Structure 1
Amino acid sequence: MSDNNGDGDDYSATVLGSHWFSGPQETPQQTLVQPQEAVPDRVEGSVVRFGPGVTAALPAPFPVTVEPAVRRRRGEWRRYTLAAVILLAVLAYLAWQRYGPAIDVRGVTVATADPQGPGCDSTADVVAVVRTNGRPGTLTYRWIRSDGTQSEQLTERVPRGRKEARLHLLWTFQGRGTYAAQARLQLVSPGQRTAATQFTYHCAGQG
């Protein structure tokens, strides 16, 4: 149905059914379901099983006993202690032998093998005896002769346990006559020491 208004515009109205004015439909009230108490499905001896696939802990098939700690006898502890002390003493001795004090010179003497001195056209054997403390090491020395000559610097290796080192000087004489000779050992290291001996070369010859 339409009427003409003063403006001359067409106007139309639509009648809505009553179902357009109804509110949202009521939903049924939700009901909370209380969980039922779990009930085991079977009982096997002292083991209760709940539901399929769930296995409770099985009791031990035999009693488990824990043995008390055995107390060691006093004699065993003493034996172990004595062995440890002996081992430590041996290790300390070996360490002292290897890393202990170095070689030390206690004294030096020089003499000829023949107290009478060399004869005509012969060689005098002059021997220096160096006394040490028995430790391993190296002696450094030189020989000085009374004729104005001297040797180069020499070395002598002293092994462990040896308390004496013998150093030799061979001095050769030739010709007729008499010569008062002196041989001197100069120890350079360890420490500085000097020792000397005197002897006479005598060769009368034939006139």
Structure 2
Amino acid sequence: MSDSRAPEGDDYSATVLGSHWFSGPPAPAGPVEPDRVEGSVLRFGPGVTAAMPAPFPLDAAVAVAAAPRRRRGAGLRRYALAAVVLAAVLAYLGWQRFGPGIEVHDVAVSTDPAGPGCDATADVVAVVGTDGRPGTLTYRWVRSDGTKSEELTERVPRGQREARLHLLWTFQGTGNYQAKAELQLLSPAQRTASVNFTYRCSR
């Protein structure tokens, strides 16, 4: 009768070899190649697609695409501001040209009460008070010797509330002459003012 126990003192190991059975073809040795490649999409089998990952983050792409829109918006705002400034300048110039004109408050004429000396010139001054708006005064001088000037103009700038108009009247010879100088304001309002003085020369 044989002893089924393993002998003592000997190096002994029992190995059971099993068999593994597989149904179907053996597993491929390498990676599976795709059926075809179209651009950045790899197609595996009919009707199945797999998108390649984007080469950069989508958030960055959206930011890059939105940047030109922001620049265009800034340009439009800049042009709008320039248009507003231009419109304001044109409105101001139009108001100066077509807005309310100069208004005359009073007119006074004066000269040296002693009158001019022999063969001298009298300086007759008319002072026209205004409201300070810009405008043009149209006037003429009329002298008592029967002469009068042509229509004259005086440009009054904005902020100036007084215009001084001069008449230089020269006398010659001996004797006495009662003189009168009159200012006739024609526009923007019709006003008159005058002054009397005496020319004396006895020699």
Q: What is the TM-score when the length of structure 2 is the normalising length?
A: 0.56
Letter paired with 2:43:
V
Decide whether aligned partners of structure 1 residues 41 and 150 sit closer, same or farther in structure 2, where only a CA change above 3 A counts: closer
Partner of 1:64: 58
Structure of higher CA gyration radius: 1
Query: How far, CA to CA, are the matches of 1:106 and 1:56 in structure 2?
Result: 91
Asked whether the equivalents of residues 34 and 42 of structure 2 are also in contact (C-alpha less than 8 Å), the reply is no
Deviations along 1:80-130, one digit per CA (max 9) or x if unpaired, are xxxx9xx97xx4794555653222222211101x22111222111101111
Partner of 2:107: 108
**When the two structures are aligned, how many residues end up with a matched partner?**
143
RMSD: 3.6
Q: After superposition, where does 1:105-184 map in structure 2 within 5 Å?
A: 105-112=104-111, 114-184=112-182
Q: Give the SS at the match of 2:196.
A: strand
Asked whether the equivalents of residues 106 and 128 of structure 2 are also in contact (C-alpha less than 8 Å), the reply is yes
- 1:56 Cα deviation (Å)? 5.8
Higher helix share: 2
Q: Give the SS at the match of 2:58.
A: coil
Deviations along 1:45-101, one digit per CA (max 9) or x if unpaired, are x953457xxx8642324543478xxxxxxxxxxxxxxxx9xx97xx47945556532
- 1:43 Cα deviation (Å)? 9.4
- 1:144 Cα deviation (Å)? 0.9
Q: After superposition, where does 1:1-207 map in structure 2 within 5 Å?
A: 42=35, 47-50=42-45, 57-61=51-55, 63-65=57-59, 91=88, 94-95=92-93, 96-97=95-96, 100-112=99-111, 114-205=112-203
Structure 2 gap ranges (5+): 1-32, 64-80
Letter paired with 1:154:
L
Query: How far, CA to CA, are the matches of 1:57 and 1:193 in structure 2?
Result: 94
Letter paired with 1:109:
A
Query: How far, CA to CA, are the matches of 1:50 and 1:162 in structure 2?
Result: 94
- 1:147 Cα deviation (Å)? 1.9
Structure 1 gap ranges (5+): 1-39, 68-83
Decide whether aligned partners of structure 1 residues 181 and 57 sit closer, same or farther in structure 2, where only a CA change above 3 A counts: same
Query: How far, CA to CA, are the matches of 2:126 and 2:120 in structure 1?
Result: 20
